Amino acid sequence: GDSVTQTEGPVTVSESESLIINCTYSATSIAYPNLFWYVRYPGEGLQLLLKVITAGQKGSSRGFEATYNKETTSFHLQKASVQESDSAVYYCALGDNTGNYKYVFGAGTRLKVIA
């Protein structure tokens, strides 16, 4: 079946350091998967951070970026310099390009950024 595996948390990073949260996927029933990163800040609902629907393309938002790599079936999330406000839970997700409602989510990675 379809699945998403991401870095197991919690991940603790010092402010201004770089970050990478790994995400790999298996899309056995989806011919052209779309890939997403969602984030949940404390006390808030899940919100879309970035998405990429074409293999080989890179998405970016709020200083985060992720490249859709079809060869390695990966969609790692990276940021060059994190801030305390980036502390949140990050979810990698897989969707179908015919209707993204039926996401397959990773388990989530809790990130704590310390000053």
Partner 1 sequence: NAGVIQTPRHKVTGKGQEATLWCEPISGHSAVFWYRQTIVQGLEFLTYFRNQAPIDDSGMPKERFSAQMPNQSHSTLKIQSTQPQDSAVYLCASSWTANTEVFFGKGTRLTVV
Nearer to partner 1, 16 or 97 (CB): 97
Site for partner 1 in 50-89 (CB under 8 A): none
105 binds partner 1 (CB under 8 A): yes
Candidates 14, 16, 18, 47: give the one binding partner 1 (CB under 8 A).
47
29 binds partner 1 (CB under 8 A): no
Is the C-alpha dihedral spanning 62, 67, 73, 77 positive or negative? negative
Candidates 8, 61, 81, 107: give the one binding partner 1 (CB under 8 A).
107
Nearer to partner 1, 71 or 99 (CB): 99
In angstroms, rounded to a whole number, what is the distance separating the alpha carbons of residues 56 and 10? 29
45 binds partner 1 (CB under 8 A): yes
Q: Which residues contact 14 (CB under 8 A, 6 or more apart)?
A: 113, 114, 115
103 binds partner 1 (CB under 8 A): yes
Ramachandran sector of residue 108 (left: φ over 0; alpha: ψ -120 to 50; beta: rest)? left
42 binds partner 1 (CB under 8 A): no
Is residue 107 within 8 Å of 7, Cβ to Cβ?
Answer: no
Is residue 75 within 8 Å of 106, Cβ to Cβ?
Answer: no
Interacting residues with partner 1 (CB under 8 A): 38, 43-48, 91, 97-108
